[in-house]
A and B are shown apart, each in its own frame.
Chain A
Amino acid sequence: MDIAEPWAIAAAAAGATTPALDVVWDALSTVPDPEIPVISIVELGIVRNVAWNDGRLQVDVTPTYSGCPATEMIATLVRERLAAIGVHAVDLVQRLSPPWSTDWIAPEAKAKLNAFGIAPPHVTVGRVDVSGISPLRHAAKAIPCPRCGSTETKLLSQFGSTACKAQYRCTACLEPFDYFKPH
């Protein structure tokens, strides 16, 4: 264990295998999302709750998309990180409700996404209700290019490198980029 890590120092100070919940949160905040390593799983909003139950740590995690292939990788990373602060009795619980929303991504994390070259999601409030069905061409939105800031951008595909992103191209600087879809 690298004791220079803040969460490790805190764990050592706690001197127990049942560290306080803020220590647990700090530790989980250092677990990067496997597909978007620039933000943590806590910033992504998929760790919904942590709680001690009779000496066992329950961690509630919600998937971004039902078929997200990173789900099992995330579970492994969480267990590894918690083991590093001495927590071995961990129950990972998958929570589907309420369904994950990009609105749960912290504002600072959205800035990190943008700096990383991924256009961050808009808030989902006001998203077209599709009971009335809206083909894409009617729902065009101005997505600013994360590189040059131009809103002269064009949708290439509704799906990008992962299910949670769409592919865009900036017609000003000509660079392609990913857009984290509001969800």
Chain B
Amino acid sequence: MNREEALFEYLLRLGDTDVVLAQRLGEWIGHGPVLEEDIALANVGLDLIGQGRLWLALAGEVEACSKGAGRSEDQLAFLRDGSAFRNLQLVEMPNGDFAMTMARQFYFDHAHLLSLRALARSTEARIAEIAAKAVKEVTYHVERSADWVIRLGDGTDESHARMQKALDALWPYTGEMFVTDAVDVALIDAGIAADARTLREPWLAAVRPVLDEATLALPAGQWMQGSGGRGGKQGVHTEHLGHLLTEMQHLQRTYPGAQW
């Protein structure tokens, strides 16, 4: 795999993770527990769509450089099958109840921010500028999801139990955020990619005090999904992704190339 091919894969991982999580958050529209939350979930999703578009558009340009023809951001998002998606498994997990949605967001937001902060120092200028832009947006996501984990954890017996259950259920999907494979390593060595292996400790340092204040326990399980190099980043997904894509891609699959 040459540098362009590795970069294309890496950009798909960034872009697909944003787009898939945005689609999940969009499922809440019209179903939020209160109007303010409905709006907030949609706005977080909108930020992620914006960032995902930038990553996928760049991926298409890199693809054009290496193969002579590149796909557009829309073609990449709407006309690929599930096995071609490179998103983290964590973000394709179903919304569940509000605690499950916020646990997923809480785990992801903190890792996302750390990753973007590292990418803002990428030697690849286009990556650095997208990351620097996204850092500002994700800063709000981090504050918001941490706040909700505290409110629900340190809330009623019911909300506490649901929040803990959600954190425990999603815990095995967090490991994938901190492992690397040959694609990552080639780009880390070139100063282009963030080294996910170095993010786990700062992530734990950020997550732990929030859980302490929320009177919640950090799950203790050691076994992680996708840690053997066969996870979402390599195109191995849970049964949930296909259903999500069916809905997300319906229009472009029915009318390929349709424009608003």
Contacts and interface: CB of A to CB of B under 8 A. Distances in A.
Given A69-B46, A133-B210, A135-B210, A159 B137 contact: no
B113 A99 contact: no
Given A65-B50, A158-B40, A159-B40, A135 B133 contact: no
B interface, how many residues as a size bin? 35 or more
Nearest to A95: B129
B50 A67 contact: yes
A132 to B, nearest CB: 8
A53 interface: no
Contact of A67 (B37, B46, B110, B146): B46
B53 A66 contact: yes
B150 interface: yes
A97 interface: yes
Interface residues of A, number: 31
Contacts of B132: 96-99
Tell me if A's interface is mostly helix, strand, loop or mixed: loop
Contacts of A98: 132
Contacts of B54: 66, 96
Contacts, number: 98
Interface string A60-100: 00010111110000000000000000000000000011111
Contacts of B241: none
Nearest to A157: B36
Given A66-B50, A158-B140, A133 B130 contact: no
A124 to B, nearest CB: 9
A69 B144 CA distance: 22
B51 interface: yes
B139 interface: yes
A160 B38 CA distance: 10
Interface in A129-183: 130-137, 139, 156-163, 167, 181, 183
Given A157-B37, A158-B144, 13 more contacts: A63-B50, A66-B51, A66-B133, A67-B50, A69-B46, A96-B54, A130-B143, A133-B209, A135-B150, A137-B150, A159-B43, A162-B43, A167-B36
Interface of A: 63, 65-69, 96-100, 130-137, 139, 156-163, 167, 181, 183
Q: Which 3 pairs across A and B sit closest by C-beta, in order of nearness?
A: A67-B50, A66-B50, A157-B36
15 contacts: A63-B50, A65-B50, A65-B137, A66-B54, A67-B48, A99-B133, A99-B136, A130-B113, A130-B139, A130-B143, A133-B142, A135-B150, A157-B37, A159-B39, A163-B46
